[in-house]
Amino acid sequence: MDDIVIFGAGGRVGRAAVAEAVARGHTVTAVVRDPAAHPRLGGDGVTVVRGDVTDRASVAAVAVGARAAINATARLDMASEEFFVAAARALVAGLTEAGVPRLIAVGIAATLETSPGVRVMDAPDFPAPHRLFSQGHAAEWETLRETAGPLDWLMVCPPMELGADVPRTGRYRTAPGRLIDGGGRIAHADLAVALLDEIERPRHHRIQLAVAH
């Protein structure tokens, strides 16, 4: 099977994506900031490498030969928007340089619409602690729309409630650009199923795609 490069492979979503990819027979290049901090991430079919998702040259170097890329990186502090924009730009440039045709970015449900032109994060009672993180993902979405060029990308947006310990079901629902039934929830493992499905059988392109149980 083809190699898949996963940025942010040391996080919960990243680890779930690594496990799902390996279970399907893919080889994985697992990109983290510090490989020494993730001694259990490697294994059969997994090569753990150091990389910087905000640096074009680093992205291009680790992505050579990959069929597709997953970006599961995140940043929660005051520099969230700057990080997400830099990552989107570096991914577009670096993946294009490396000849990788497909990018699946992990977004967040807050950037989805509840009605035409109105996003979840636009609500007056949207929790303040989540606003900066959501603004970062919104800026990432806009950057991909404006700069992706020939890169075939998709932003998969899980609910705000992600279940680390919820068993894998292999099932999920989708909705292009809009929130599903008030948000819902999904297991990390089933989010990974959705990510790998869109790599193996691409059905959605250049949009935000809500996923939930």
pLDDT tens track for 31-47: 999 999 999 999 999 99
| Tally: H helices and E strands in the chain | 5, 12
pLDDT in tens, 52-86: 999 999 999 999 999 999 999 998 776 789 999 99
Residues of the chain with pLDDT under 70: 1, 78, 164, 182-183
Give kind and range of the element (H or E) at residue 85: helix 80-98
Looking at residue 129, its pLDDT comes to: 81
What distance in Å separates the CA atoms of residue 175 and residue 34, rounded to the nearest whole number?
35
CATH at 159:
3.40.50.720
- What is the number of other CB atoms lying within 10 angstroms of the CB of residue 93? 18
Number of structural domains the chain divides into: 1
The separation between CA 25 and the C-alpha centre of its own chain, rounded to angstroms, equals 20
Looking at residue 78, its pLDDT comes to: 66
Full residue range of the structural domain in which residue 28 is found: 3-212
Give kind and range of the element (H or E) at residue 19: helix 12-23
Structure tokens at 172: 């999920």
Looking at residue 1, its pLDDT comes to: 52
41 touches 32 (CB < 8 A): yes
CA gyration radius for the chain?
16
Looking at residue 109, its pLDDT comes to: 95
